[in-house]
Amino acid sequence: MSDLRDPRDPRTQSFWDLHDFGSGRGIEVGPLFRPLVRREEADVRYLDIADRESLVETYREHVGIPVDDIVDVDFPMTVDGVVISMAQAVGSHGPFDWVVASHVIEHVPDVIGWLADLAELTVDGGSVVLAVPDKRYSFDLHRPSTTVGAMLQAHLDQDVVPSVRAVYDHHREAVAATSTDLWAGALPGFEARIHDSSYVNDQVAQAAQVYTDCHVWVFSEQQFLSQMSELRDLGLSHWYVDRFLPTAPNQLEFLVRLRRVPRGADAAAWEAEQEVRSTETRPDWMAWRQDAAEVDQLRKKVQRQGDRIDRQRQRIERQRARIERLQTRLNASPRSRRLQPNLLSKAGRRALSPLRRALTRRPS
């Protein structure tokens, strides 16, 4: 177990709180220039789509990516221009005790195949720690949710690049919205779309020629838990979720730890200890519909209260006008002017003072 206590940023620390990477050997997938697990902290190897030299060349012109800090890649997945699987890239160096991948699963063309690839890399009972963007609080807000059926189709088609469907949806539906605004209840419309149709068409045309990166899959936290369970129940995955950190307020990602079902075991029949399953009883879009209905009911209630206040205001205004007319008539009478001090100093003053106080406090 690692005894290093070097300061970590809060996000990185949350990964270490979920899993002790200082125990056993592991792989970080796609660390680029900011690994979650540093070599001085743990026995870790780095795996990426290409070697360091190729990554430096790819990102040289990208603002915000310090290419000098890109890490050395132990297991590149591109060899002689051909993309190979993670298991092939690792070769005889595996299996490993753990794998960590931040914002990777949503990019893979075939998520079922990717999970199977990870199963080859890890020991029985090994762990995979994932950071997954929550579509509800990211630019994916407008996109329809991923379905297991879509995963099955991608696996059946043996997708090795993002589909045209995924490339189109990713670019067409992306909206400009911060996680803070979305947590505060903002609901951006079509006017918040980031890309125009011309740009989207260019990306689709490019996708037919070269690998075009995008979010192939989009998840909410409960939906992800449900789909991981469903894939195992179907016998299509050897993983189950045993730890889960939900999306924190004003953030856009949730963390999960998957555990590997032992080799040779029936994944569908395997009774996992401490499996975390979804607590939802209906699709997430139905929950949103229920929330919208509740908001509509509250809006109607507020409207009724507003109408009641308006009626009270009108009633008070009528009373004010009546008092002003009576006051004018009182002031116009010589006899009344002589009587007024006496009248108002006694019963009249006592009767009028509460109403006058009420009239001076106009409803806002």
pLDDT digits (tens, 9 = 90+) for 48-106: 999 999 999 989 988 889 999 999 999 999 988 888 999 999 999 999 999 999 999 99
The pLDDT value recorded for residue 5 is: 41
Q: Is residue 330 scored above 90 in pLDDT? A: no
Residue 92 burial by CB count (10 A; 0-12/13-18/19+): exposed, middle or buried?
A: exposed
In tens, the pLDDT along 198-238 reads 999 999 999 988 888 999 999 999 999 999 999 999 999 99
Residue 349: predicted pLDDT: 59
Question: Which residues fall within 8 angstroms of residue 83, CB to CB, at 6 or more apart?
Answer: 49, 77, 160, 211
Q: Write down the mean pLDDT value for the chain.
A: 88
Mean pLDDT of 231-251: 96
Amino acid 211: pLDDT: 86
pLDDT higher than threshold 50 for residue 267: yes
In contact, 71 and 31? CB cutoff 8 Å? yes
What pLDDT is stored for residue 4 in this prediction? 44
Phi and psi dihedrals of 119, rounded to 5?
-65, -35
Whether residue 3 has pLDDT greater than 50: no
pLDDT band per the 50, 70, 90 thresholds, residue 347 = low
Q: Hey, CA dihedral for 287, 247, 111, 204, is it positive or negative?
A: positive
**Mean pLDDT, residues 171-183 taken together:** 96
Dihedrals phi, psi of 9, to nearest 5 degrees? -70, 155
Determine what percent of the chain is predicted with pLDDT higher than 90: 64
Q: Which residue in this structure is represented by tokens 């116009």?
A: 332
Residue with tokens 């029985």: 124
- The pTM assigned to this predicted structure is 0.77
Q: Give residue 137's pLDDT band: very low, low, confident or very high (50, 70, 90).
A: very high
More confident residue, 352 or 322: 322
CATH code matching the domain that covers 10-281, chosen among 1.10.150.130, 1.10.530.10, 1.25.40.20, 3.40.50.150: 3.40.50.150
Give residue limits of the domains in the chain.
Answer: 10-281, 290-360
- What's the gap between Cα 211 and its chain centre? 26
Task: Say what the pLDDT of residue 97 is.
Answer: 98
Residue 2 has a pLDDT of 41
Residue 75's pLDDT is 97
Output 46 or 6, whichever has higher pLDDT.
Answer: 46
Distance, CA of 251 to CA of 66 (rounded, Å)? 24
Task: For residue 64, give both structure tokens.
Answer: 């915000």
